[in-house]
């Protein structure tokens, strides 16, 4: 059965156009839903552009002084400022400053907590959507403020490279708190998969196992102290928090923003934050994807583009693995997908390699050899 995009995906950049191009269908009890083309797409076509329901900058990036709009995550530092910070050379000068697209004269700060935005429009949108509930005012630098304690605990549990943020969950709570139609937002968030385990395959998310229970309990207690709301009481229970944690872990889409591009197509270097995208999250995985997400606008707008020709009725699949992970053995790919996304892949590539030996890729053997016995092995280094 196809899902109505105009209702379910009302936060898409152009939901009317998206409903003409794609539809969400229920596939089966194993795969759940999937995204299907309603019209033909040629290789390189933009299938849709989508705005996230919620997004947040990675906390370590913010701590390292990478300045981005608190709403859309557009870079706030110029290319030269970025290069000076990363190189540690305050006198560094870059050629062709006129090519930098950062408009510093448009930047605005929240008058209460001084959080920065790229424009008055983003500042107003954040205030109306979630920032009223999260604004720390003069307590922004107070380490004893409950939200700051929550952020510190997250950084202590989740070292770089980051793939999610506790603030993604905090903003979900804040959005519902501020919303007039709280039920609508709760329904929208409920469309995301939030299971902490796949009982049928006997798979559990690797960060919800016994060795992380102490960290999860601490985060839940701090999360509750900072953000508790009666309308969302189910999110603050031990099981509800686990489900919320699994939701952002399995559905969060990392995106990138940078002060400057390196190609005309907008290739960036910096993985800046994570967001929840309703349409994109409906795409199932394939180790040979026919579509991929990119962020050529240097903000939170996700462009889903065709990697090959796609016919009407064909399922649109992305890869949950990066290009290096996709080149690993079937055994290695399945290990990553089981631990992080709770399923066993049966795409065309995996099925064609069914008779391959269950051995780990040489690349992964090297990584595991380097980290064996490492003191950091019990940290949440992936979500």
How far is the C-alpha of 253 from the C-alpha of 280, rounded, in Å? 8
Q: What's the confidence (pLDDT) of residue 106?
A: 96
Apex CA 314: angle with CA 308 and CA 320, to 5°?
65
Mean pLDDT of 221-242: 94
Q: 152-166, 169-183, 349-363: lowest mean pLDDT where? A: 349-363
Higher pLDDT, 207 or 249: 249
Coil/strand/helix, residue 27: strand
How far is the C-alpha of 119 from the C-alpha of 370, rounded, in Å? 45
Residue that the structure tokens 């795969």 belong to? 31
Q: What's the confidence (pLDDT) of residue 342?
A: 80
Mean pLDDT of 344-373: 70
Q: Is the pLDDT of residue 210 over 80?
A: no
Task: Give the rounded percent of residues in the chain with a pLDDT score beyond 70.
Answer: 79
pLDDT tens for 313-349 read 999 999 999 889 999 999 999 999 888 788 889 999 9
Residue that the structure tokens 């559905």 belong to? 251
Mean pLDDT of 157-176: 89
Mean pLDDT of 150-175: 90
| 161 upstream amide cis, omega within 30 of 0 | yes
Mean pLDDT of 139-144: 96
Coil/strand/helix, residue 167: helix
pLDDT tens for 312-323 read 999 999 999 988
Mean pLDDT of 137-148: 96
Please give the DSSP secondary-structure letter assigned to residue 283: P
Strand runs labelled E in the chain: 2-3, 22-28, 32-37, 46-50, 54-57, 108-109, 116-117, 197-198, 203-204, 253-256, 271-276, 284-285, 291-294, 302-306, 315-318
Q: Is the pLDDT of residue 116 over 90?
A: yes
Contact (Cβ atoms closer than 8 angstroms) between residue 261 and residue 77: no
Q: Is the pLDDT of residue 303 over 90?
A: yes
Mean pLDDT of 128-136: 97
Mean pLDDT of 245-260: 76
How far is the C-alpha of 170 from the C-alpha of 192, rounded, in Å? 16
Closest by CA to 54, choosing from 141, 154, 166, is: 166
How far is the C-alpha of 325 from the C-alpha of 331, rounded, in Å? 11
Q: What's the confidence (pLDDT) of residue 19?
A: 72
Q: 133-137, 156-160, 331-335: lowest mean pLDDT where? A: 156-160
pTM of the full predicted structure? Answer: 0.83
How far is the C-alpha of 288 from the C-alpha of 308, rounded, in Å? 10
Apex CA 266: angle with CA 264 and CA 269, to 5°?
125
How far is the C-alpha of 241 from the C-alpha of 169, rounded, in Å? 10
Q: Is the pLDDT of residue 270 over 90?
A: no
Count the Cβ atoms, other than its own, within 10 Å of residue 285: 17
Task: Give the rounded percent of residues in the chain with a pLDDT score beyond 90.
Answer: 55
pLDDT tens for 40-61 read 999 999 999 999 999 999 999 8
Mean pLDDT of 80-92: 89
Q: Is the pLDDT of residue 161 over 60?
A: yes
User: Residue 192: which pLDDT band, with cuts at 50, 70 and 90?
Assistant: confident
Closest by CA to 52, choosing from 300, 317, 383, is: 300
Q: What's the confidence (pLDDT) of residue 266?
A: 38
How far is the C-alpha of 129 from the C-alpha of 187, rounded, in Å? 16
How far is the C-alpha of 15 from the C-alpha of 10, rounded, in Å? 6
Coil/strand/helix, residue 284: strand
- Mean per-residue pLDDT over the chain, rounded: 83
Q: Is the pLDDT of residue 371 over 50?
A: no
**Highest mean pLDDT of the ranges 103-117, 212-226, 360-374:** 103-117
Q: Is the pLDDT of residue 183 over 50?
A: yes
How far is the C-alpha of 236 from the C-alpha of 6, rounded, in Å? 31
Q: Is the pLDDT of residue 28 over 90?
A: no
Do you know the residue count of the chain? Answer: 383
At 104, phi and psi to the nearest 5? Answer: -60, -30
Domains of the chain, first to last: 5-51+278-352 (2.170.270.10), 54-253 (no CATH)
pLDDT tens for 9-25 read 433 445 456 678 999 99
How far is the C-alpha of 294 from the C-alpha of 278, rounded, in Å? 16
User: Residue 207: which pLDDT band, with cuts at 50, 70 and 90?
Assistant: low
Closest by CA to 380, choosing from 64, 226, 160, is: 160
User: Residue 272: which pLDDT band, with cuts at 50, 70 and 90?
Assistant: confident
How far is the C-alpha of 371 from the C-alpha of 374, rounded, in Å? 5
Coil/strand/helix, residue 161: coil
Q: What's the confidence (pLDDT) of residue 20?
A: 83
């Amino acid at each position: 059965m196809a899902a109505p995009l105009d209702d379910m995906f009302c936060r898409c950049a152009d939901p009317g156009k998206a409903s003409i191009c794609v539809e969400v269908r229920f596939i089966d009890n194993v795969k759940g839903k999937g995204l299907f083309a309603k019209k033909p797409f040629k290789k390189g076509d933009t299938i849709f552009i989508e705005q996230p329901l919620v997004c947040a900058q990675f906390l370590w990036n913010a701590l390292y002084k990478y300045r981005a709009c608190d709403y859309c995550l557009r870079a706030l530092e110029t290319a030269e400022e970025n290069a000076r910070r990363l190189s540690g050379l305050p006198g560094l000068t870059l050629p062709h400053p006129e090519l930098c697209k950062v408009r510093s004269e448009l930047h605005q700060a929240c008058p209460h907590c001084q959080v920065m935005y790229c424009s008055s429009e983003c500042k107003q949108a954040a205030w109306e959507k979630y920032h009223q509930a999260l604004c720390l005012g003069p307590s922004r630098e107070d380490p004893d403020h409950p939200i700051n304690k929550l952020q510190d605990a997250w950084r202590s549990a989740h070292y770089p490279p980051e793939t999610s943020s506790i603030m993604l969950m905090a903003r979900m709570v804040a959005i519902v708190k501020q919303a007039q139609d709280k039920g609508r937002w709760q329904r929208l968030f409920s469309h995301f998969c939030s299971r902490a385990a796949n009982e049928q395959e006997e798979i559990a998310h690797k960060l919800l196992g016994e060795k992380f229970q102490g960290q999860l309990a601490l985060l839940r207690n701090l999360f509750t102290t900072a953000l508790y709301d009666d309308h969302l009481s189910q999110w603050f229970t031990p099981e509800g928090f686990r489900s919320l944690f699994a939701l952002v872990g399995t559905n969060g889409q990392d995106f990138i923003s940078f002060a400057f591009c390196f190609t005309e197509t907008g290739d960036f270097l910096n993985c800046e934050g994570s967001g929840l995208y309703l349409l994109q999250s409906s795409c199932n995985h394939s180790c040979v994807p026919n579509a991929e997400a990119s962020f050529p606008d240097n903000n939170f707008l996700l462009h889903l583009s065709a990697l090959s020709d796609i016919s009407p009725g064909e399922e649109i699949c992305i890869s949950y693995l990066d290009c290096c992970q996709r080149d690993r053995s079937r055994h290695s790919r399945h290990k990553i997908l089981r631990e992080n996304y709770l399923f066993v892949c049966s795409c065309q590539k995996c099925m064609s390699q069914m008779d391959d030996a269950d051995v780990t890729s040489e690349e992964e053997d090297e990584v595991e050899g380097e980290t064996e016995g490492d003191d950091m092995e019990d940290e949440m280094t992936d979500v």
